[in-house]
């Protein structure tokens, strides 16, 4: 788990104002040369453009737009180097407590949104197992928008999940929301989830980068794919933890008929740009029970490395997100279709 | 093609300020009764809420937020009545020059983005036919952002499309962008497309509502599903034209890796809310050739009534949107997978 | 009103994939040279970037992303050439029926949202005049989202506005929504407004570019400033009509406490990028009566060339947008503050 | 600093499906009565609406959309009770190391974005003092998107700020990004800033709610005003810390000419909804030096309780955000105008 070296250049295009002087252009070039970067000056009839290519850490420091004569500076090379296909051509395959995810191996993650008590967890876990899930979900710490909402069972929840793991023979995933809890959650869980609200919580990500359990990184509400890959690359992967699974869970748009807008194209885009596996969360993106099945089918068809579904034996009494959980019978039906689609599409499951 | 009557109420919830008086509440109720609507007053411990239910045309006129003591007014019943499942439970099946779309019948629309000349059109049309398309696409009028771009062949393009229809035995779809061209385009095309920029061009929509050819209505860049269904309902359907096909083509988000964000969940949402068929445009949403196949697979899997794909024999020389067109060989391969998926999912094609 | 020549280059940065070949790079350069453009090749250690500079119409045609080895193409020079400060350094001053707007001259546009009848119009117009407005607003054609809403009085409304112009000595502004109405509206109004929904209705804009009355162009719901300036430049200015006033009226965001989010920074940004005047609409952006005064103060303070306000003698009975209209007394109070601010800031009014 | 009691009800409107049964409606009502809430049933001709009013903690737990026959549930009363005008009518005035903020008292916060070294800090602090700032800004911990960027001096930076406070007689504000640093930062700073990325970091907010120093809470990139006020109310105020200042700093939109879109209307909206003071950050919203002055003028004119500006003696060498810092001379000029505007508008400064 050593930190890889830095082979990829950063490129920034500096567009000069039409009234910039030759001295302004030379000043930009000089500042670039000072830090060991290359400056390619392209004079147009009315505007000059300077292409800056060089070491990322150094280039990022230069406040080009504060230089005289500069109109704007546009970064052109995506920057998530360690997780890019340029850096590693082969798919990363993440081992989650013995279950392989990525490289054609499908993760089927199912279970209740939150662990409420032993009976509720075990009923969901049994349904997950029967349907063919290979990873159990269930949270012990819930970062709720409203403090009046159920906040999770804490360590007691992790103990119940551990017991369920033994009973049903499935590794489990649990969320962490506070950097001070990373060690605790990592001591129990097989896969640690970073929720949407924390995608840019660099303090938390850095802690996760320093421990050995794999991490599932959900996309931020309005994060671009580039920002999301950057968070994975720079704050988890770079700290030494290379076992990262991306999780598309919908982004914020003007649409209100769904809780979030599932960006289904993010799957092939991430797979083209990065070697990391990517799974889809059809429950939290749609936010409605009846959308889980169609969105799961779309996820398989588009080429995702898996999906994560809320299954609850009695959604109407669920303490968290009941409106989007499906019941065990619906999960079994859905998984039959999933198997047929996986077969047609040649996915190993 | 008579205009249906109006059986669905509009409901608005009027939330009073916490310092509103009894007279303020009574004033709201009175204004509602004046227009023949019902006013259900729910006094809370600190706030009163008035539920207003009644005739839509009348309720929409009341500027509740200008009334004394009113905090805000929230409409709660979706309004696209004529195209809603409440209004008609069965799927609408649209007849496009003999091809049925909706109700389990798949539309496979393929061809070049714009008609450039006879050879280009016929090469694409032949590939579309071979791959199994049942509707030909090809535009004669192009509403381009930049006026320097190719603007289409006009009526000459429509004549070439008509010739291709005879040659390959496929009805065709073409776009209209100016209300003054509706009659001309309708005299040639089997299906008339309203582009994204014109989804809220009510002048254009009204003209289309008054003519007999079916209309494919693309979703606006940032339109919600409700706004989109409203445009279909109120400006096309209500004018008397009931043959409307919805087309999801991606919405504007902060993501820039794709041209737009395909809202794949819009398909099951529209099918739940409305009886109209809905197809997906994987070419314009992704904006990149390599995304066409995965997004088409997702469209079929999620339950769309069809899809529309740019196929061009030589994308590099295309005058419009070359970056997102696939070549004939790619189309043939994709259609093989589509057939297998349709088979597994029980879609008639 | 001749069309100006084209002195500004378009620049596009073509970023090659990391696995692109020398032949791929050469192919891009060759295609550029074929159209008479310059190709500046900047080879980095891992990626090559090609700067393409040349004639805009030609460069816009090339589908770079369909070329082999191309990762993406980024346009870097803003394109609204005719309306840019590069093209004309001095402020454009638009003459609206004898009232100067721009270059330090403040437009105070006030009146009812829609002309409902003679009494309503004249009561508002009188208040506008008393408060110190110099242009009267009032629409005869209203493009409403709902067809059940009042659609305007049509030509009768324009006649009433003409009568009010004579009575109060103020030129007037009115909206046009259909290209077939341009001639009619232009025959009455002193300033023609293009509404938010029509900012990208290029058919309508082209018609306005061909007639002599000045045009006030509202910003589209989600248009960037660049897209907005482009619409002004390419479809109105380029057709020969150089009298364009930009109108910032709020953009669509996730915020729902206001109808739209007034982008107050658009004022200094437009003034830096363009020579056209820019006014602010505090009524439609905020959408609430109590926001009109603070937003108008902000507009003056930020440097706008004017503002446009809905004033209605009896907002509660207004047929259109009553919730955001202020009453005559509020307008008078606001204008007192405006005069003091204009004085402190050195604005001629 | 006791936690206030809970006097405000939550109201939710439950819209039933058109095919819901009487039993479905009764079930909703029963579940509400079970938790002690009121259920107001409003039967329409085609749809029934249930108004649910009652204790917030209880109502929030009910997953209405998982109940049979429910179409959707819409919360209608804004929820940030402790910080609402309903809860406290008078303006909160926050004491920042002796400087009053709110209730007509203007905060002028100025200084470098990050503390880089003693000379840089003291040069900026001197300029801030001369211009008339009453609170010094300067960060010791910087949460940067890129880990290659300068991350701040840590405790050493806080010591330098403390020294500057003594020298120039100005209290200072500093950011905290990790819950583990709250105690440390609170032991030095007079006002603690929560950055945009951390507005929804409830772990961090809770820690700040438990300590006595006032908190300045920046708005999240895409947070609505309601979400922002909720974060202040529920995670800081409710924990016992009532000294909260809101800071509008721009939201994410499609506009790219500015770093963020300053939502200037948020100022009057927050002042109407809440008793907390609100200041504006013109530096980080605009992201460009030339926008600082106009946006600051707009902030004063719209009624903000202050503003926060990056002032740097040599922006071109700044390690953080140099492109948006203004130089001491520009700050002095701007403050002259600010004083005149404050005078016209009757603001105490």
Q: 10-residue block means of pLDDT along chain B (349 residues)?
A: 44 83 92 86 76 77 85 73 84 97 95 92 95 94 64 90 97 94 96 94 93 97 93 88 97 92 97 96 90 96 96 79 85 95 86
Residue C300 forms contact with D (CB below 8 Å): yes
In chain A, the DSSP E strands lie at 10-16, 38-43, 48-54, 70-75, 94-96, 99-101, 107-111, 135-137, 172-175, 191-194, 215-218, 244-248, 278-280, 306-310
Contacts A297 to B, Cβ<8 Å: 301-303, 345
Residue carrying structure tokens 């061209």:
B181
Decide if A230 and D145 are in contact by the 8 Å CB cutoff: yes
Calpha distance C238→C5 (Å, rounded): 10
How does residue A92 score in pLDDT terms, banded at 50, 70 and 90?
Answer: very high
Nearest to A175, CA basis, from A100, A304, A284, A334: A284
CA separation, residue B75 to residues A234, B40, B66 (Å)? 45, 14, 16
Decide if C77 and A40 are in contact by the 8 Å CB cutoff: no
A210-243: pLDDT as tens digits: 999 999 999 999 999 999 999 998 789 988 999 9
Q: Which of D63, D143, D230 minimises the CB distance to A316?
A: D63
Are D153 and D125 in contact, with CB atoms under 8 Å apart?
no
Q: Which of D7, D18, D77 minimises the CB distance to B86?
A: D18
B79: helix, strand or coil: coil
Check residue C1 and give its pLDDT. 33
Q: Which of B7, B15, B86 minimises the CB distance to D77?
A: B15
- How close D297 comes to chain C (CA, Å)? 5
Calpha distance B342→C30 (Å, rounded): 44
Are D51 and D5 in contact, with CB atoms under 8 Å apart?
no
Calpha distance C239→C209 (Å, rounded): 5
Check residue C337 and give its pLDDT. 95
Calpha distance C32→C52 (Å, rounded): 7
Q: Count Cβ atoms below 10 Å from residue A5 Cβ, excluding itself.
A: 6
Check residue A151 and give its pLDDT. 73
Check residue A161 and give its pLDDT. 97
Determine the residue among C84, C248, C263, C265 to mutate to test chain D binding: the one whose Cβ has the most chain D Cβ atoms within 10 Å. C265
- Please, which residues have CB within 8 angstroms of residue D22's CB and are 6 or more apart in sequence? none
Calpha distance C262→C252 (Å, rounded): 9
How many Cα atoms sit within 13 Å of C192 on the Cβ side?
29
Per DSSP, helices labelled H in chain B are 22-34, 56-61, 118-131, 155-168, 182-188, 202-209, 225-231, 266-273, 282-286, 292-302, 328-345
CA separation, residue A122 to residues A155, A165, A292, C78 (Å)? 17, 10, 21, 60
Considering only alpha carbons, which residue of chain C is nearest residue A72?
A: C76
Q: What is the mean pLDDT of residues A51-72?
A: 81
Give the range among B217-226, C190-199, D73-82 with minimum mean pLDDT. Answer: D73-82
Check residue D108 and give its pLDDT. 97
pLDDT at D348 over 90: no
Check residue A44 and give its pLDDT. 67
Q: DSSP secondary-structure letter at D197?
A: G
Residue C340 forms contact with D (CB below 8 Å): yes
- Please, which residues have CB within 8 angstroms of residue B35's CB and are 6 or more apart in sequence? B54, B55, B58, B59, B61, B62
B186 phi and psi angles, rounded to 5 deg: -65, -25
C272-293: pLDDT as tens digits: 999 999 999 999 988 888 999 9
Contacts C291 to D, Cβ<8 Å: 265, 268-269
Calpha distance B270→C155 (Å, rounded): 39
Q: What is the mean pLDDT of residues C247-264?
A: 94
Q: Please give, one letter per residue, the 3-state secondary structure of A15-76.
A: EECCCCCHHHHHHHHHHHHHCCCEEEEEECCCCEEEEEEECHHHHHHCCHHHCCCEEEEEEC
Q: DSSP secondary-structure letter at B36?
A: T
Which residues 238-297 of D are in CB contact (within 8 Å) with B? 252, 254
Q: DSSP secondary-structure letter at C22?
A: H
Burial class of residue B246 (count of CB atoms within 10 Å of its CB; 0-12, 13-18, 19+) = buried
To 5 degrees, how large is the angle CA B327–CA B331–CA B333? 120
Q: Which of D147, D202, D230 minimises the CB distance to A143?
A: D202
Check residue D6 and give its pLDDT. 41
DSSP element (H, E) containing C224: none
Whole-model pTM?
Answer: 0.88
C78-88: pLDDT as tens digits: 567 788 887 88
Nearest to D8, CA basis, from B20, A148, B44, B16: B44
Burial class of residue D220 (count of CB atoms within 10 Å of its CB; 0-12, 13-18, 19+) = buried
D261-309: pLDDT as tens digits: 999 999 999 999 999 999 999 998 888 889 999 999 999 999 999 999 9
- How close C64 comes to chain B (CA, Å)? 7
Q: DSSP secondary-structure letter at B180?
A: G
Check residue C5 and give its pLDDT. 39
D54-75: pLDDT as tens digits: 777 778 778 888 888 888 887 7
Calpha distance B80→C349 (Å, rounded): 47
* Alpha-carbon torsion (C326, C330, C331, C334), positive or negative: negative
* Alpha-carbon torsion (B334, B340, B344, B346), positive or negative: positive
Contacts C179 to B, Cβ<8 Å: 178-180
Q: What is the largest CA-CA distance in chain D?
A: 75
Residue A155 forms contact with B (CB below 8 Å): no
Calpha distance C339→C347 (Å, rounded): 9
pLDDT at D77 over 70: no
Are C10 and A78 in contact, with CB atoms under 8 Å apart?
no
DSSP element (H, E) containing C49: strand C48-54
To 5 degrees, how large is the angle CA B225–CA B228–CA B229? 85
Average pLDDT, chain B: 88
Q: Count Cβ atoms below 10 Å from residue A239 Cβ, excluding itself.
A: 18
Calpha distance C267→C274 (Å, rounded): 10
- How close A201 comes to chain D (CA, Å)? 7
Contacts C285 to D, Cβ<8 Å: 265
Check residue A9 and give its pLDDT. 60
Copy the structure tokens of residue A286: 């749609």
A130 phi and psi angles, rounded to 5 deg: -60, -40
Name subunits touching A (3+ CB pairs < 8 A). B, C, D
To 5 degrees, how large is the angle CA B125–CA B131–CA B134? 65
Q: Which of C8, C47, C76 minimises the CB distance to A77?
A: C47
Contacts D265 to C, Cβ<8 Å: 258, 261-262, 285-286, 291, 294-295
- How close A346 comes to chain D (CA, Å)? 35
Calpha distance B99→A348 (Å, rounded): 37
Calpha distance B262→B255 (Å, rounded): 11
Residue-wise DSSP of C50-105: EEEEE-HHHHHH--GGGSTTEEEEEE-S---GGGBTTT--SPP-EEETTEEEBTTB
C64-123: pLDDT as tens digits: 888 889 888 877 665 677 888 878 889 999 999 999 999 989 999 999 988 999 999 999
Copy the structure tokens of residue A116: 């409420």
How does residue D147 score in pLDDT terms, banded at 50, 70 and 90?
Answer: low
* Alpha-carbon torsion (B191, B195, B199, B201), positive or negative: negative
Calpha distance C89→B275 (Å, rounded): 56
- Please, which residues have CB within 8 angstroms of residue B22's CB and are 6 or more apart in sequence? none
Exposed e or buried b for every residue in D154-167, given b needs 16+ CB within 10 A?
Answer: eeebbebbbebbee
């Amino acid at each position: 788990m050593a930190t890889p070296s830095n082979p990829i250049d950063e490129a920034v295009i500096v567009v000069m104002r039409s009234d910039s002087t030759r001295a302004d252009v030379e000043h930009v070039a000089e500042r670039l040369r000072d830090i060991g970067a290359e400056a390619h000056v392209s004079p147009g009839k009315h505007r000059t453009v300077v292409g800056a290519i060089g070491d990322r850490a150094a280039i990022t420091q230069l406040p080009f737009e504060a230089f005289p004569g500069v109109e704007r500076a546009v970064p052109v090379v995506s920057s998530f180097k360690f997780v890019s296909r340029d850096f590693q051509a082969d798919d990363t395959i993440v081992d989650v407590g013995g279950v392989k995810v990525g490289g054609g191996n499908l993760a089927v993650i199912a279970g209740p949104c939150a662990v409420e008590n032993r009976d509720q967890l075990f009923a969901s876990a049994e349904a997950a197992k029967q349907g063919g899930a290979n990873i159990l979900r269930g949270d012990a710490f819930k970062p709720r928008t409203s403090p009046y909402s159920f906040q999770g069972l804490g360590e007691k929840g992790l103990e119940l999940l551990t017991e369920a793991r033994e009973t049903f023979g499935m590794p489990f995933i649990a969320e962490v929301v506070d950097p001070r809890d990373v060690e605790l959650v990592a001591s129990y869980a097989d896969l640690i989830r970073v929720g949407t609200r924390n995608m840019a919580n660099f303090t938390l990500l850095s802690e996760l980068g320093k421990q050995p359990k794999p991490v599932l990184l959900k996309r931020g509400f309005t994060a671009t794919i580039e920002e999301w890959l950057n968070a994975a690359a720079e704050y988890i992967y770079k700290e030494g933890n290379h076992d990262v699974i991306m999780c598309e869970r919908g982004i914020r748009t003007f649409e209100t008929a769904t809780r979030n807008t599932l960006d289904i194209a993010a799957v092939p885009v991430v797979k083209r740009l990065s070697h990391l596996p990517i799974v889809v969360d059809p429950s939290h993106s749609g936010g409605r029970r009846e959308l889980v099945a169609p969105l799961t089918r779309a996820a398989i068809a588009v080429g995702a490395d898996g999906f994560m579904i809320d299954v609850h034996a009695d959604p109407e009494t669920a303490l968290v997100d009941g409106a989007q959980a499906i019941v065990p019978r619906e999960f079994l039906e859905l998984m039959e279709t999933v198997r047929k689609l996986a077969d047609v599409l040649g996915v190993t499951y």
